[in-house]
Chain A
C-alpha cells in the first residue's frame, strides 16, 4: 500500500460497525434532507410565519449537515482527494451557516417568546369581553322585561288590573315565589295586604305603618333587601324546613289628583306609599342581582304613573257623569218650564176669551142702557158700572198684552197717524181727573215735531197715558208738565242708559217725551223695581192705590219694541219725579200717505170720502147710474164714462179711483191703457173692477192687466165704503172670492 495522507484507522475497520455507521449516516442524511422539505412545505402552507429567511437559513444549515453526513458515507472507505475536498467544502459551509444561524437565533427567540405573551393577553381580553357581553345581554333582557311589564301595566286604565298585572308579570319575569302589595288604609296608619300573586284572596293582614323596616323602605326610592322575617314578608306560615328566599321591598308612590303640582314633580306634598314585597323562591340559593333590583324600581315607578292615570280617568269619568246628570236635569227643568209656559199661555188665551165675552156683553149692554131714558140715580149707577167694566176690560187686556209681550209674540201695528193728535187726546183724557185733584196739566209740543209719524198709535198712546196717569196718580199737589220733542243726538245718548245706542237715520226720528210731576217721588234705589211686573214701591200713600203694577212693565216692553228706552228720575221721596222715554218713529213719505186726509183711522171710521174724485166706467146705463149714486152717497166727486175711449179722454191725474165694470168687453184694455197713460205709480188712479163673476180666471185676468182691486157685485153702500177706505190705505184690495 502506498502511504497516503489520510488517516488510517487504528484498528481494522470492523465490517459490522462500518455497516451500522453507514446506515445511520444514510438515515441522518435522509432526515436532514427531509426536515427542510417539511419545513418548506408547512411554511408555504401557513401564511403568517414572519421569519422566512430564518427558515431558509435553518434549511440551509440542515441541508449542509445532511450533505456532510452523506458525503461521510464515502469516507469510510478509501476515497479520492475530490471527495475529501467536497467533504471539506461541505463542512466549512455547514460551519458557517450554523454559526450564522446560532447568532440569528439569539435575536429571534425573545421575539417568539413575546408573541406568546401577547397571545395570552389576547385570550384574557377575549374572556373579559365575553363576560361583559353576558352582562349586556342580561341588561337588555331586563330592559325588555321592563318594557313588556310597562306595556302590560299601562295598557289598562283600571286600577285593579294594573296592580294585578304588575304582580303577575313581575312574578313571571323574575321567577318569584311570592309577590305582594300592601296598600295604606284610609286612616293612613296601617298597611293592608291588598294583592298577592299566589294567594287568591288576601286575608286582610294589616301591619302598622310605623314599623322601622317600612320606614326604611319608604325613605328611599330604591328597592331594598329586607329580612324574610319581617312582618311584611311573612305571608305564609313558615314550615321550619326550608330556607326562605331573599326578599326585596320597594315603595310605590300613590299619586292623588290633588298632589299634582307641575312644577315640583316628583316632589309630592302629601306622600302616600304602597309597599311592594318580592320574594325569591326558597331553597333556590338565588340572589337578588343588581339588574333585577333596578327592574323592580323601574316597575314601581311605572305602576305609580299608571295608577295616577287611572285616578285621573276615574275623576274625569265621574265629572262627565255628573255633567250628564246635570244636563238631563236641566233639560227636564227646561221642558217643564216650557210646558208651564204653554199651559199658562193656553190658560190665558182661554181665560182671556172667556173673560172678554161676558165683559163685552156687560159693556155693550151698559152703554146701550146709557142711551135710554134713565132717572139720574140710574144714570149714575150705569156710569159707575161702565167705568168699572172698562177698567176691568183694560186690566184683562193688560194681562194678555204682557203675556204676549213676554212671549215675543206681540207685534206693533205700524201705521201712519197724527202725532200731535195723540198728545191732544191724552190731554183730553187726563184733564178731567187732573182737574178733580186740582193738578194743572200743561202740554208742550215742540214746533219741529212732525205732525204725522209712522208707528203703533194705540200703544204709543197707551204708554203716554200710563206715564201721565202715574204722574197724576202719585201727585197730591203741584203741576204736571208733558214735553214732547225730537231727540237730537246729544240728548239721545244718556249716561243712565248705557245699552241704548240710537242710530238716527233718514226716515226715522226719535221722539222724546218727558213727564214731570211734583208728587211724592220715588226712592232712587227703588227705581229699577218700578219696571218689574207686579212690584209696587210700597209706601204708605200707595197702599190704597189701585192698579196691578203692570203698567210700567208693559210700557217698558212697548218702548223696547219701538226700539227705545224708558226711565225715571227722582231725587227722593217727596221731591217729585220725571219719567222720560224715547221711542223710534218713522217719518212718512211725502206722498198721498201724509197729505191724504182720507186716511180712515180705526178710532174714527171713515164714513165719507169728501171730494174724492172717482171715474166710473160702465157701458150699462143702469149699472152706471147705480154705481155713480153709490159713490155720490159716500161723498165722492163722480165722473162717468160709457166707453173705453171716453174714459181715457176724461181721466186725469186728479182722479184717485177708477171703477170699471169688468163685464165690459174693453175693460181690460182700458186698464192697460190707463197704465200706459200714467207711468208713475203715484199719478195713476187706483183701478177697481166690479164683476159679477166669482171665478178665479176673472180675478187672475184682472190682476194680469194691472188692476188694483176686484170687487164682487152686488156692491152695497157699506161694502163700497169699506172698499174705498181699504183701497186708499193700502193701495190694493183683492176681495176673496
Chain B
C-alpha cells in the first residue's frame, strides 16, 4: 500500500508540474471528468488520436513549407486543425504556438512560418513525452490496485 500512496503522490506532483509549466490546462481536467465506468479509457483514446492527428499534420506542414510556391491557405488550414486539436485536449503550449503560426501565415512570412513549425514540433514532442510518462504512472497505480481522482 505504501507504494500506491507513493505512486499517487508522484502522480500528483507530476501533474501539478505539468500544469504549472503550462503544458496542460484545465481542458485536460475536463477530459478526465468525462471518463467514467462506461468509458474507462476515454482520455487515453483521445490523446492517442491527438498524437496521430498531430503527426500527420506536422508532416503535411513540413511538406507544404518546402514547396516552391507556398500555399498559405493550406498551411493555415492545417495549423487551424492543429490548434483545434491541441485546445481540445488541453495542450496549452502547442495551442499558443499555433496561434503565432497562424499570424505568420496571414503575413505570408515564410521564415516566421518555418520558425513556428520548428517550435510546434518541439512543443509537440515535449507534451507527447510528458503525457506518455503520465499515462505510465497511471497504469502503474491502477496495476497496484490504487485509484485515481482528477482533478488533482
Contacts and interface: CB of A to CB of B under 8 A. Distances in A.
Interface string B48-87: 0110010000000000000000000000010011011101
B34 to A, nearest CB: 5
Contact of A714 (B30, B36, B39): B30
Interface residues of A, number: 19
Contacts of A692: 83-84, 87
Contacts of B46: 622, 625-626, 629
A622 B39 contact: no
Interface string B11-30: 00000000000000011001
Contacts of B80: 663
Contact of B84 (A633, A663, A717): A663
A620 B30 contact: no
A353 to B, nearest CB: 33
Contact of A622 (B26, B33, B34, B85): B85
Contacts of B36: 633
B137 interface: no
Contacts of B45: 625
Contacts of B26: 714, 716
Interface in A621-649: 621-623, 625-626, 629-630, 632-633
A626 B89 contact: yes
A661 B26 CA distance: 20
Contacts of A622: 46, 49-50, 53, 84-85, 88-89
A632 B37 CA distance: 13
Nearest to B95: A692
Nearest to B39: A629
Interface string A681-696: 0000000000010000
Nearest to B52: A621
Interface in A700-737: 713-714, 716-717
Given A629-B42, A717-B33, A717-B34, A623 B84 contact: yes
A630 B84 contact: no
B30 A716 contact: yes
B31 interface: yes
A633 B38 CA distance: 9
Contact of A620 (B31, B34, B38, B85): B85
A714 B89 CA distance: 10
Nearest to A630: B34
B84 A620 contact: yes
A620 B88 contact: yes
Contacts of A717: 30, 33-34
B65 to A, nearest CB: 21
Contacts of B50: 622
Nearest to B86: A622
Interface string B80-119: 1101110111000000000000000000000000000000
A694 B50 CA distance: 25
Contacts of A630: 30, 34
Contacts of B88: 620, 622-623, 625-626, 714
Contact of A626 (B31, B38, B81): B31
A624 to B, nearest CB: 9
A621 B87 contact: no
Contact of B49 (A619, A625, A713): A625
Nearest to B91: A622
A619 B80 CA distance: 11
A633 B33 CA distance: 9
A620 B81 contact: yes
B96 to A, nearest CB: 13
A622 to B, nearest CB: 4
Contacts of B83: 692
- Residue among B34, B36, B89 with most chain A CB within 10 A: B34
Contacts of A619: 81
Contacts of A625: 45-46, 49, 88
Contacts of B77: 665
A619 B53 CA distance: 12
Contacts of B30: 630, 714, 716-717
B105 to A, nearest CB: 15
B152 to A, nearest CB: 17
B87 A714 contact: yes
A621 B53 contact: yes
A629 B35 CA distance: 8
A625 B42 CA distance: 9
A635 to B, nearest CB: 11
Nearest to A634: B34
Contacts of B42: 629
Nearest to B35: A629
Given A622-B46, A623-B85, A663-B84, A629 B34 contact: yes
Nearest to A624: B88
A466 B27 CA distance: 48
A623 B27 CA distance: 11
B137 to A, nearest CB: 22
Contacts of B53: 620-622
A714 B34 CA distance: 14
Nearest to A627: B88
Contacts of B85: 620-623
Contacts of A714: 26-27, 30, 87-88
A663 B34 CA distance: 23
B82 to A, nearest CB: 9
B50 to A, nearest CB: 5
B143 to A, nearest CB: 25
A620 B85 CA distance: 7
B79 to A, nearest CB: 11
B1 to A, nearest CB: 26
A622 B42 CA distance: 12
A632 B89 CA distance: 17
A663 B102 CA distance: 13
A625 B87 CA distance: 13
A727 B84 CA distance: 24
A661 B84 contact: yes
Given A623-B88, A716-B30, A632 B39 contact: yes
Nearest to A623: B88
Nearest to A628: B34
B11 to A, nearest CB: 22
A714 B84 CA distance: 10
Contacts of A632: 34, 38-39
Interface string A407-433: 000000000000000000000000000
- Residue among B46, B53, B77, B84 with most chain A CB within 10 A: B84
Contact of B87 (A629, A665, A713): A713
Contacts of B33: 633, 716-717
21 contacts: A620-B81, A621-B49, A621-B53, A621-B85, A622-B50, A622-B84, A622-B85, A622-B89, A625-B45, A625-B49, A626-B89, A629-B42, A629-B46, A633-B34, A633-B36, A661-B84, A663-B84, A692-B84, A714-B30, A714-B88, A717-B33
Interface of B: 26-27, 30-31, 33-34, 36, 38-39, 42, 45-46, 49-50, 53, 77, 80-81, 83-85, 87-89
Interface of A: 619-623, 625-626, 629-630, 632-633, 661, 663, 665, 692, 713-714, 716-717
Given A623-B85, A692-B83, 9 more contacts: A620-B88, A621-B53, A621-B85, A623-B84, A623-B88, A626-B31, A632-B39, A716-B26, A717-B34
Closest 9 CB pairs of A and B: A622-B85, A620-B84, A623-B88, A629-B34, A626-B88, A622-B88, A714-B27, A622-B50, A633-B34
